[in-house]
């Protein structure tokens, strides 16, 4: 896919899986369960191990029409034939990454506070992550940003895809969805009060983009289940268990979801 096709696919994404180098059968089960984006994030793997895992990720994502991201490393993302790279605040700046990967590779950016979210919106990042909503072992030592940050992201993201990340699972995804809905309703009221020309910049109009998972944004099947008051689960293999025993990330965009399995 070229850049426009990838961004169109990102705009339709609901479930975002962040995972280590899963075996093919588990990866396929996750994709069959509704995952739209898979991020290969394995901090302990060598470059050779990431490159060895990439073909099965690429093949599985292609077979299910999903996007494939690699964490942190623009060079590895290109070498893996990925659709995108996800970077953090301590990694190279987005515009530097963009200059290295070109216009067609998608870039995701993690943010942890309102000023970082605002700065991210001013970059060419294709999606933002807001979190961690709750403390998570994948972000050891980082304080939770809380549900207030989810509400902030929902109110200010505009049309930019975004994901609420960190400690989100089927037990608390409904809380993340509720935080988004609250901000969305407030934004809609502000929009009606001020009129189409007086709308507060970035106010929600009911179409934020995001995901929910074990470090994901609210939306998709998981978010729909959360909004309905039922449990949210991610496609993590035949048992479809939430990620609780190994590092896992869920990020939530206003209408999307992303997960990381056990």
List strands edge to edge, sheet with 257-259: 162-164, 127-130, 106-111, 84-87, 67-71, 37-40, 15-19, 257-259, 250-251, 215-216
The reply to whether 43 belongs to the active site is no
The reply to whether 110 belongs to the active site is yes
Q: Which of 7, 73, 98, 110 is catalytic?
A: 110
Q: Which of 41, 73, 253, 256 is catalytic?
A: 41
Q: Which of 7, 73, 98, 139 is catalytic?
A: 139
CA separation for the pair 97, 105 (Å, rounded): 10
The reply to whether 139 belongs to the active site is yes
SS (H, E, C) the chain: CCHHHHHHHHHHCCEEEEECCCCHHHHHHHHHCCCCEEEECCCCCCHHHHHHHHHHHHHHHHHHCCEEEEECCHHHHHHCCCCEEEECCCCCCHHHHHHHHCCCCEEEEEECCHHHHHHHHCCCCCEEEECCCCCCHHHCCCCCCCHHHHHHHHHHCCCCEEEECCCCCCCCHHHHHHHHHHHHHHHHHHHHHHCCCCCCCCCCCCCCECCCCCEECCCHHHHHHHHCCCCCCCCCCCCCCCCCCCCCEEECCCCCEEECCC
Place of tokens 């991020």: 39
132 preceded by cis ω (within 30°)? yes
Residues marked active site are found at 41, 110, 139
């Amino acid at each position: 896919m070229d850049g426009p096709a990838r961004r169109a696919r990102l705009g339709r994404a609901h479930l975002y899986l962040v995972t280590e180098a899963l075996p093919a059968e588990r990866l396929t089960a996750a994709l069959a369960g509704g995952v739209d984006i898979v991020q290969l994030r394995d901090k302990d793997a060598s470059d050779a191990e990431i490159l060895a895992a990439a073909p099965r990720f690429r093949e599985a994502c292609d077979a299910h029409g999903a996007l494939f991201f690699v964490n942190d490393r623009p060079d590895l993302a290109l070498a893996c034939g990925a659709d995108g790279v996800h970077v953090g605040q301590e990694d190279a700046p987005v515009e530097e990454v963009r200059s290295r990967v070109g216009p067609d590779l998608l870039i995701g950016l993690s943010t942890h506070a309102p000023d970082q979210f605002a700065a991210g919106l001013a970059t060419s990042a294709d999606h933002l992550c807001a979190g961690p909503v709750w403390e998570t072992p994948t972000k050891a030592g980082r304080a939770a940003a809380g549900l207030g940050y989810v509400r902030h992201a929902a109110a200010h993201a505009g049309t930019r895809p975004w994901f609420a990340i960190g400690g989100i699972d089927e037990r608390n995804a409904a809380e993340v969805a509720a935080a988004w809905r609250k901000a969305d309703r407030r934004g809609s009221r502000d929009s009606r009060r001020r009129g189409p020309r007086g709308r507060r910049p970035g106010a929600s109009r009911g179409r934020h983009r995001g995901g929910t998972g074990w470090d994901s944004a609210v939306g998709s099947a998981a978010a729909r289940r959360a909004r309905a008051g039922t449990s949210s689960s991610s496609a993590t293999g035949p048992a479809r268990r939430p990620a609780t025993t190994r590092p896992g990330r869920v990020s939530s965009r206003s209408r999307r979801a992303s997960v990381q399995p056990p």
